[in-house]
């Protein structure tokens, strides 16, 4: 019985003398050959780019090593897609398929499908992309006792912007920071997004939360109040802090939108409440901070008029620097959080397309 079990577990086994020392007569090398070719999962591209509202295909195909076949035919193929959290400690279920059975999870329901252009195609189609879809995805293919994985990163075109509330600098714990970004039509930025923004010129001296729970800030022009004049440019890292008790600003990320952002032409300047009503009367809503940054960065929106935004701040976007309108750099200029009842400004509105 033991001999039979040994033969089942090992398909081919033979011994040969050790080539380097013939005097060791009893030393043998054991060769073990697996049954059949090994399952391989491959992503043709490691990084895919898209934008909010778009559709994208995350590539994934599976093969057997040294063959062109997709499967052995003896076991059903199970395909599982998960999303890796920013700290890589957890996986979030996205989609599972086995035979004719299909299941999607969470906010992916109704938006994800397998492409199945061939019998070995496990590529995942994501439709109507939202900001939260950004990140790294794992494609896992399982056949019997064999399985293999591949990882694909989904990047979104967009803009990172620093944010602090009316209360002022360093007033948000991590959970409040997440909500603050969502309230401004954005999500809390990842380190990779902040790093890309720094490479594109973002310079900000206030530390802010990132999606992995770290606190960092980007410096392109080293100076004394921001880590020292003689330091090198880079993304400064404060490390990981208590998400409930520690308080900082936040870096948010937003992408393009399916709507119209505009400065409302109005005969008079407005208080905050009047600005909200003026946008509603125009068939729109008062714009959010994420929308003014997206319009400025992605659409080149330029306007030298300060206007109210939904959070009670007053800002204006300058894409073409000029005298009296951000002469030194293209930026979304921040006027502040004025008195809502007595200060008068214009207003920026946003009308979503149906």
Element (H, E) at 5: helix 2-9
**Nearest Cα residue to 303 out of 288, 292, 290:** 292
The answer to whether the beta carbons of residues 165 and 311 sit under 8 Å apart is yes
Strands 214-219 and 234-240: antiparallel
Q: Please state the pTM of the whole predicted model.
A: 0.83
Q: Which residues contact 343 (CB under 8 A, 6 or more apart)?
A: 271, 272, 314
Q: Which residues contact 131 (CB under 8 A, 6 or more apart)?
A: 52, 156, 158, 186, 187, 253, 254, 255
pLDDT over threshold 90, residue 24: no
Q: Which residues contact 41 (CB under 8 A, 6 or more apart)?
A: 60, 61, 62, 122, 139, 140, 141, 148, 149, 150
Average pLDDT over residues 60-67: 81
Average pLDDT over residues 206-216: 96
Which two structure tokens, joined as six digits, stand for 263? 């400065």
In this prediction, residue 69 carries a pLDDT of 53
* Structural domains of the chain, ranges and CATH numbers in brackets: 39-64+76-156 (2.60.40.10), 158-254 (3.10.100.10), 256-352 (3.10.100.10)
pLDDT digit string (tens) for 260-292? 999 999 999 999 999 999 999 999 999 999 999
pLDDT over threshold 60, residue 6: no
Q: What is the mean pLDDT of the chain?
A: 88
Q: Which residues contact 268 (CB under 8 A, 6 or more apart)?
A: 344
Least confident among 74-78, 293-297, 336-340: 74-78
In this prediction, residue 87 carries a pLDDT of 72
pLDDT confidence tier of residue 67, bands split at 50, 70 and 90: low
The answer to whether the beta carbons of residues 285 and 259 sit under 8 Å apart is no
**Could you give the CA distance from residue 32 to residue 50 in angstroms, rounded to a whole number?**
46
Which two structure tokens, joined as six digits, stand for 50? 């898209």
pLDDT over threshold 80, residue 10: no
In this prediction, residue 37 carries a pLDDT of 62
């Amino acid at each position: 019985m033991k001999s039979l079990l040994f033969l089942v577990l090992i398909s081919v086994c033979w011994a040969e003398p050790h080539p380097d020392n013939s005097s060791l007569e009893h030393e043998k090398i054991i060769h073990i050959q697996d049954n059949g070719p090994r399952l391989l999962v491959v992503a043709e591209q490691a990084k895919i780019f898209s934008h909010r509202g778009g559709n994208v295909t995350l590539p994934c195909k599976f093969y057997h090593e040294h063959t062109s076949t997709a499967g052995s035919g003896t076991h059903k193929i199970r395909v599982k897609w998960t999303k890796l959290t920013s700290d890589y400690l957890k996986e979030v279920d996205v989609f599972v398929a086995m035979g004719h059975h299909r299941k999607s999870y969470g906010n992916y329901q109704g938006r994800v499908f397998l492409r199945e252009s061939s019998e070995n195609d496990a590529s995942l189609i994501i439709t109507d992309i939202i900001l939260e879809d950004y990140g790294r995805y794992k494609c896992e293919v399982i056949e019997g006792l064999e399985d293999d994985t591949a990882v694909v990163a989904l990047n979104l075109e967009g803009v990172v912007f620093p944010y602090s509330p009316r209360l002022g600098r360093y007033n948000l714990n991590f959970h409040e920071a997440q909500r603050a970004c969502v309230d401004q039509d954005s999500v809390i930025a990842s380190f990779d997004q902040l790093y890309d923004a720094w490479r594109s010129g973002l310079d900000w001296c206030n530390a802010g939360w990132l999606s992995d729970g770290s606190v960092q800030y980007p410096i392109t022009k080293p100076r004394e109040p921001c880590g020292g004049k003689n330091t090198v440019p880079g993304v400064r890292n404060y490390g990981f802090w208590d998400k409930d008790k520690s308080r900082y600003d936040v870096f948010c990320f937003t992408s393009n939108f399916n709507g119209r952002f505009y400065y409302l032409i109005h005969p008079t300047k407005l208080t905050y409440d009047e600005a909200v009503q003026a946008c509603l009367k125009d068939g729109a809503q008062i714009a959010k901070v994420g929308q003014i940054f997206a319009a400025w960065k992605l659409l080149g929106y330029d306007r030298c008029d300060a206007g109210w935004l939904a959070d009670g701040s007053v800002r204006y976007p300058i894409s073409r620097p000029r005298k009296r309108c951000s002469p030194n750099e293209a930026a979304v200029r921040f006027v502040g959080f004025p008195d809502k009842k007595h200060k008068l400004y214009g207003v920026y509105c946003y009308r979503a397309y149906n």
